[in-house]
Amino acid sequence: MKQSKLLIQTLRETPRDADVVSQQLMMRAGMIQKAAAGIYSYLPLAYRSIRKFEEIVREELAKDGCQELLMPAVLPAELWQESGRWKFYGDELLRFCDRKAKAELAERRQRGETPDEREFYNFCLGPTHEEVITDIVRKNVRSYKQLPMNLFQIQTKFRDERRPRFGLMRGREFTMKDGYSFHVDDADADREYWAMFNAYKRIFARLGVKFRPVEADSGAIGGSFTHEFHVLAGSGEDAILSCDGCEYTSNIEKTEAPALPAGVNEAPMELRKDHFRTPGVVGQVEQAAGMIDADHPQGMPLTQTSKFFLYRATFAEGGTKLVGAVLRGDHEVNPVKVKNFTGAAELELMPLEEAEAFTGTKTGFMGPVGLKDVQMLVDRSLEGAVNLTCGANRTDYHHFGLDPKRDLPGCTFADLRMAQEGDVCPRCGKGHYQAFRGIEVGQVFKLGLKYSKSMGCTFLDEQGRENPMVMGCYGIGITRTVAAAIEQNYDADGILWPWPIAPYQVHLLSLDPGNAEVAAVAEQVEKDLEAAGFEVLHDDREGMSPGAKFKDADLLGFPLRLMVGTKGLKEGVVELRDRRTKAVLKLKPEAVVAEVS
Ligand code: ATP
Ligand code: MG
Ligand code: MG
Ligand code: MG
């Protein structure tokens, strides 16, 4: 490919609105272009990397017999109503109405009515596809003989993220590989879970990045039946703790904490009336397991200025519970994952009197509360709403009107405390936790019967009895992974592409393309390399200094750079430079293919 013909505009300066390295470098290297917040075009170079990663994913999944299909991006509300998620998914789900619903709405308005527009929304953009795949399978699979089945797609997803940022790392529109498996029983679903777990290990290993599978929050489902895969990078939004004495590695949201030391539970706290505002629904909690949003920098130390909220959670399956949320005071309001919920719930802010009546305690009743016990979703609409500032008698041990022993039965104090770096690992009792930052690039999840039961996805077993299928789901953020690879592989001059997803492997620079000999030699090596199966971007641009070409080449960061210039050719050589090590090798043009191979 000739660079003079490539759609690319490199930038010397770092764009002002780019906050992380991958975003800065991808923008500077002319790989992505923003169309709107969190919505990007993938320009030719980026798209090559993305497709290469997709191919790795396809190849590895094929080894496990997964079948690829493609589902619609626009999804009917009916399916989401069937599963119950239409009500509980929250604002990440972009809902809208089609022409027919709009006409109905207009008609009602014409009649002088003032209907709520939201009731007319009958479609959404798919953020994930459990409902659609379950609908497909229930209509096409009848017998145990057809199971197990593992189906996946690689598709554009839309999630109306509260804070789209970091370029492709947290977009609103992004590419995801999402897979779903269907089984006759638990044991077979577990087998597939580990098969996918291993497939993901192969995928990220092939990519050539440092990654960790980590135990993640599986909420209501329990056990270790969800793992996230994290690319380790300082810019990662997730905190991971890993024991240096055993294998145990876990998202801090879920890491087991050692027992609470004595005496941390005594400092009294004041609950003040003016810290509560009028109640109203502020957000929904889906399932503790499949939480709506983890857009929260977990693992930060809670401080004296942390804020607390009391909520009433009304569960879809009935029952009400007092819960709380912890927000860091110096941080803007973030959604926080909810723990200790066992079902779908609506959350309402609770006025103080009600909270008191509910717990039967006057203000001042206390209990230790860590981030871990009362994580919850808080809508941005909350900003400035509640400011129950309270103190902590020790970092990570907070007090407010909640007695976890009573209000969160089944939890021990140790459950309620966030684990932290340096803690003794309770699994092996010997090692200590080390902290890492990670970018979540994938997640495997055992779903169980959640969708098959609510949507009637059943099969007939050998005895002809009807049973719900046991399901699993498996996601990889394709575009996020490509960005994450850059977060881990760059230097001051630009990107250091891992070979498997480099847009091109060799950057051939004609240093004096006007010179006939240079042009001829460069042309020949380009042909030879391509014939040998290498991908070459040939910088044949005229009227550019070698220095400027070097700068661009470093920025684009393909693994090998081959320089052809008059000076070298006088000695009969071209120069091959390794982008990562900067080692330079002089060699005869006809020796290039052998050297690169
Ligand atoms: P996060 O915790 O970062 O919000 P998630 O847990 O909501 O991610 P999943 O529902 O597990 O995401 O989706 C599967 C994968 O899709 C994630 O592991 C991640 O790699 C990718 N992904 C999720 N949200 C985004 C996004 N906004 N932009 C890019 N990739 C994303
Ligand atoms: Mg999310
Ligand atoms: Mg997550
Ligand atoms: Mg996830």
**pLDDT, tens digit, 9 for 90 and up, residues 189-216:** 999 999 999 999 999 999 999 999 999 8
What separation in Å is there between the alpha carbon of 293 and the centre of ligand 4?
Answer: 9
- Give how far Cα 186 sits from Cα of 72, 215, 225, 388, Å: 29, 19, 12, 45
What separation in Å is there between the alpha carbon of 228 and the centre of ligand 4?
Answer: 7
Give me the residue label for tokens 């009362």.
Answer: 374
Tokens read off for 357: 């009546």
Contact by Cβ (8 Å): 238, 454: no
Ligand 1 atom nearest to CA at 481:
20
CA 439 to chain centre: 7
Strands 506-510 and 560-564 come out as parallel
Rounded to an integer, what distance in angstroms lies between the CA atom of residue 120 and that of residue 98? Answer: 9
Rounded to an integer, what distance in angstroms lies between the CA atom of residue 428 and that of residue 435? Answer: 17
Dihedral over Cα of 351, 353, 357, 362: its sign:
positive
Residue 2 is given by DSSP the state: B
- Among 162, 298, 334, 443, which is best to mutate for testing ligand 1, by the most ligand atoms less than 8 A from CB? 443
Residue located nearest, by CA, to atom 27 of ligand 1: 170
Residue located nearest, by CA, to atom 1 of ligand 1: 294
Q: CB neighbours of 404 closer than 8 A, spacing ≥ 6?
A: 367, 368, 369, 373, 411, 413, 416
- Among 57, 440, 447, 474, which is best to mutate for testing ligand 1, by the most ligand atoms less than 8 A from CB? 440
What separation in Å is there between the alpha carbon of 12 and the centre of ligand 3?
Answer: 34
Q: How many CB atoms lie within 10 A of CB 236?
A: 22
Rounded to an integer, what distance in angstroms lies between the CA atom of residue 91 and that of residue 162? Answer: 8
Rounded to an integer, what distance in angstroms lies between the CA atom of residue 391 and that of residue 45? Answer: 51
Among the residue ranges 214-218, 314-318, 418-422, the one predicted with the least confidence is: 314-318
Residue 421's pLDDT band (cuts 50, 70, 90): confident
Determine the Cα angle at 292 with ends 250 and 90, to 5°. 170
What separation in Å is there between the alpha carbon of 301 and the centre of ligand 3?
Answer: 20
Comparison of pLDDT for 567 and 396, the residue scoring more: 567
The DSSP secondary structure of 407-442, one letter per residue, reads: HSTT--HHHHSPP-TTPBPTTTSS-BEEEEEEEEEE
What separation in Å is there between the alpha carbon of 229 and the centre of ligand 3?
Answer: 10
Residues around ligand 3, an ion, CB closer than 5 A: 294, 440
Residue located nearest, by CA, to atom 23 of ligand 1: 477
Contact by Cβ (8 Å): 60, 202: yes
Closest ligand to Cα 176: 1
Contact by Cβ (8 Å): 473, 505: no
What separation in Å is there between the alpha carbon of 442 and the centre of ligand 4?
Answer: 7
Residue 356's pLDDT band (cuts 50, 70, 90): very low
Residue located nearest, by CA, to atom 28 of ligand 1: 170
pLDDT at 548: 96
What separation in Å is there between the alpha carbon of 379 and the centre of ligand 2?
Answer: 14
- Among 159, 176, 296, which is best to mutate for testing ligand 1, by the most ligand atoms less than 8 A from CB? 176
Helix axes 478-488, 44-63, angle to 10 degrees: 110
What separation in Å is there between the alpha carbon of 444 and the centre of ligand 4?
Answer: 8
Rounded to an integer, what distance in angstroms lies between the CA atom of residue 422 and that of residue 435? Answer: 8
What separation in Å is there between the alpha carbon of 463 and the centre of ligand 4?
Answer: 38
pLDDT at 403: 36
Query: Residue range 265-293: average pLDDT?
Result: 28
Q: What's the pTM?
A: 0.80
What are the two backbone dihedrals, phi and then psi, of residue 586, each rounded to the nearest 5 degrees? -95, 130
Tokens read off for 210: 């440092």
Rounded to an integer, what distance in angstroms lies between the CA atom of residue 272 and that of residue 308? Answer: 11
Ligand 1 atom nearest to CA at 439:
3
Phi-psi map region of 572: left, alpha, beta (phi>0 left; psi -120 to 50 alpha) = left
What separation in Å is there between the alpha carbon of 108 and the centre of ligand 3?
Answer: 41
Closest ligand to Cα 128: 1
Tens-digit pLDDT profile for residues 30-80: 999 999 999 999 999 999 999 999 999 999 999 999 999 999 999 999 999
Ligand 1 atom nearest to CA at 476:
15
Contact by Cβ (8 Å): 442, 179: no
Residue 155 reports pLDDT greater than 60: yes
Contact by Cβ (8 Å): 468, 453: yes
pLDDT at 259: 60
Residue 519 reports pLDDT greater than 50: yes
Say whether 591 sits in a helix, a strand or coil: helix
Tens-digit pLDDT profile for residues 522-545: 999 999 999 999 999 999 999 999
Residue located nearest, by CA, to atom 25 of ligand 1: 170
Rounded to an integer, what distance in angstroms lies between the CA atom of residue 223 and that of residue 474? Answer: 17
**If you count them, how many residues does the chain have?**
597
Q: How many CB atoms lie within 10 A of CB 276?
A: 21
Rounded to an integer, what distance in angstroms lies between the CA atom of residue 566 and that of residue 522? Answer: 11
Exposure of 232 in the CB half-sphere (CA atoms within 13 A): 16
Percent of the chain with pLDDT over 90: 65
Closest ligand to Cα 127: 1
Q: CB neighbours of 196 closer than 8 A, spacing ≥ 6?
A: 64, 150, 179, 181, 444, 472, 474
Query: Residue range 209-233: average pLDDT?
Result: 79
Range among 225-229, 380-384, 465-469 rated most confident: 465-469
15 prior amide bond cis, ω within 30: no
What separation in Å is there between the alpha carbon of 292 and the centre of ligand 1?
Answer: 11
Residue located nearest, by CA, to atom 4 of ligand 1: 294
Residue 430 reports pLDDT greater than 90: yes
- Ligand 1 residue neighbourhood (C-beta within 6 Å): 128, 159, 161, 170-171, 174, 176, 294-295, 440-443, 475, 477, 479-480
Ligand 1 atom nearest to CA at 290:
10
Paired residues of 249 in beta bridges: 242
What separation in Å is there between the alpha carbon of 441 and the centre of ligand 1?
Answer: 7
pLDDT at 317: 59
Residue located nearest, by CA, to atom 31 of ligand 1: 477
Q: CB neighbours of 128 closer than 8 A, spacing ≥ 6?
A: 157, 176, 178, 473, 475
Residue located nearest, by CA, to atom 6 of ligand 1: 294
Comparison of pLDDT for 357 and 487, the residue scoring more: 487
What separation in Å is there between the alpha carbon of 1 and the centre of ligand 3?
Answer: 39
Residue located nearest, by CA, to atom 29 of ligand 1: 170
Report the complex ipTM: 0.99
Residue 10 is given by DSSP the state: -
Residue located nearest, by CA, to atom 3 of ligand 1: 440
End-to-end CA distance of the chain: 19
Dihedral over Cα of 565, 570, 573, 579: its sign:
negative
